[in-house]
Amino acid sequence: MIVERIKKIASDIHPLVIAHRRHLHAHPELSFQEKETSAYIKKELSEMGIPWQPVSENGVVALIRGGKPSDRVLALRADMDALPIREQNRLDYCSTREGVMHACGHDAHTASLLGSAYILNALRTEFGGTIKLIFQPGEEKLPGGASMMIKEGVLENPRPEAIIGQHCMPSLETGKIAIRPGKFMASMDELQVWVHGKGGHAAQPQQNIDPVVIAAHIIVALQQIVSRTANPSHPTVLSFGKVVANGAINVIPDEVHLEGTFRTMDESWREQAHTAMFRMATGIAESMGGACEFRIVKGYPFLLNDEKLSESVRAHAIEYLGPEQVVDWDPWMAAEDFAYYSQVATGCFYLLGTGNVHKGIMSALHTPTFNIDETALELSTGLMAYLAMKELKN
């Protein structure tokens, strides 16, 4: 049975995969600066005898050709960048770089894909077709490593018919994975707003055009885009996390700066919402005697899990893990640049449970105490190898 053989190898190499993950965790690199991480991946692939090529800034693509005749191609993807966060964990393998931390588990994704590569390479006489391994940089930063890798042809020569990726999820128990077929993660746009008025003494409002009051109206009014303009069946979020007025107790400033994020799961509504927000914000500012500059920096598209592929991945995951270990998940308003692959190829992105309440491993993604239960890495390496082999056969 192939499941047993994969599980045996995954168990044998589990210490090695943990070592990869700890090495990467101790040496995190920010988005598009992943020189050493990229070199580490290349060295490990070379040691396994797997041919690789560099793609884009620090990206690596590798091919494992199965021994049986087939021209089918499937891609597996891992990201590799860290975040500008100062680690607060006390671990032997803590970040050695001040202010940089693998707080989103991309160290685990890369280590896991190296483990899956080992398994698939060891079992390559057992399958037909080609596995394309994609190690991509810059997931955390616009324009997203995925979009750059795609532009530079990572999905060509050979072109994969499907692509599978995974992400650590601390609120899901280790031993489980979660899949959401269809719309899974949100598009993400950055909003940059400058509200211009006329500053002056706070005791003489009649002589000023108060941008603070205008900005307050804009913030409140824009929520109507979410509650009154959006189709309730398209999940939509608008949040302003930065509001800078820089006046004083008795000083009205000339300008207020706002920064926020707009997220949804429908590309045509996303475009309409941009226009509606722009019109509302500039209209309010003008009606109050001020002016508003409203800039939208487009981020990642929404992430669509192909229904058929996701159901197939779910069925195979159940074969590998058992039915209780494969759970459903709600749509998630976080953004992920795997979405770029899912827009141009058949994609499935699932969540890997890495939390463990008994071990106290519960911190959320992007926090200074984020960590994973490393027992999850035995499951993740074997499962992804199994999914790849099954999809090539399907």
Q: Rounded to the nearest whole angstrom, what is the least distance from the CB of residue 343 to Ni ion in the complex?
A: 18
Long-range contacts of 247-250 (CB under 8 A, 24+ apart): 247/199, 247/202, 247/212, 248/202, 249/202, 250/201, 250/202, 250/203
Q: How do strand 128-136 and strand 59-65 relate by DSSP bridges? A: antiparallel
Q: Rounded to the nearest whole angstrom, what is the least distance from the CB of residue 123 to Ni ion in the complex?
A: 28
Q: Rounded to the nearest whole angstrom, what is the least distance from the CB of residue 142 to Ni ion in the complex?
A: 14
Residue 293 DSSP class: E
Q: Which is nearer to Ni ion, 104 or 226 (CB)?
A: 104
Q: Which two tokens stand for residue 325?
A: 């270990």
Q: Which two tokens stand for residue 65?
A: 């050709």
Per-residue burial over 332-347, b if 16 or more Cβ lie within 10 Å, else e, is bbebbbbbbbbbebbb
Contact region for Ni ion (CB under 5 A) — 21-29, 103-111, 186-194, 207-215? 103-111
How far apart are alpha carbons 306 and 338 in whole angstroms? 13
Contact region for Ni ion (CB under 5 A) — 100-108, 285-293, 326-334, 346-354? 100-108
282: left (phi over 0), alpha (psi -120 to 50) or beta: alpha
The answer to whether 50 contacts Ni ion (rule: CB under 5 A) is no
Contact region for Ni ion (CB under 5 A) — 33-41, 65-73, 96-104, 117-125? 96-104
Q: Rounded to the nearest whole angstrom, what is the least distance from the CB of residue 104 to Ni ion in the complex?
A: 3
3-state secondary structure of 234: coil
How far apart are alpha carbons 245 and 255 in whole angstroms? 7
Q: Rounded to the nearest whole angstrom, what is the least distance from the CB of residue 139 to Ni ion in the complex?
A: 6
Contact region for Ni ion (CB under 5 A) — 102-110, 117-125, 275-283, 352-360? 102-110
The answer to whether 24 contacts Ni ion (rule: CB under 5 A) is no
Tally of residues, the chain: 394
Asked whether the beta carbons of 263 and 188 are under 8 A apart, the reply is: yes
Q: Which is nearer to Ni ion, 103 or 225 (CB)?
A: 103
Residue 168 DSSP class: E
- Say how many CA atoms lie within 13 Å of 218 toward its Cβ: 37
Contact region for Ni ion (CB under 5 A) — 33-41, 70-78, 104-112, 119-127? 104-112
The answer to whether 372 contacts Ni ion (rule: CB under 5 A) is no
Q: Which two tokens stand for residue 86?
A: 């100062």
Residue nearest to Ni ion according to CB distances in the complex:
104
Build a one-symbol-per-residue string for 119-158: x at contacts with Ni ion by CB under 5 A, - elsewhere: ----------------------------------------
Q: Which two tokens stand for residue 340?
A: 């770029």
How far apart are alpha carbons 352 and 320 in whole angstroms? 14
The answer to whether 285 contacts Ni ion (rule: CB under 5 A) is no
Q: Which is nearer to Ni ion, 104 or 351 (CB)?
A: 104
The answer to whether 113 contacts Ni ion (rule: CB under 5 A) is no
The footprint of Ni ion on this chain (CB under 5 A) covers a number of residues equal to 1
Asked whether the beta carbons of 342 and 306 are under 8 A apart, the reply is: yes
Q: Which is nearer to Ni ion, 187 or 282 (CB)?
A: 187
Q: Which is nearer to Ni ion, 104 or 238 (CB)?
A: 104
The answer to whether 104 contacts Ni ion (rule: CB under 5 A) is yes
The answer to whether 288 contacts Ni ion (rule: CB under 5 A) is no
- Say how many CA atoms lie within 13 Å of 52 toward its Cβ: 26
Give the residues lining the site for Ni ion (CB under 5 A): 104
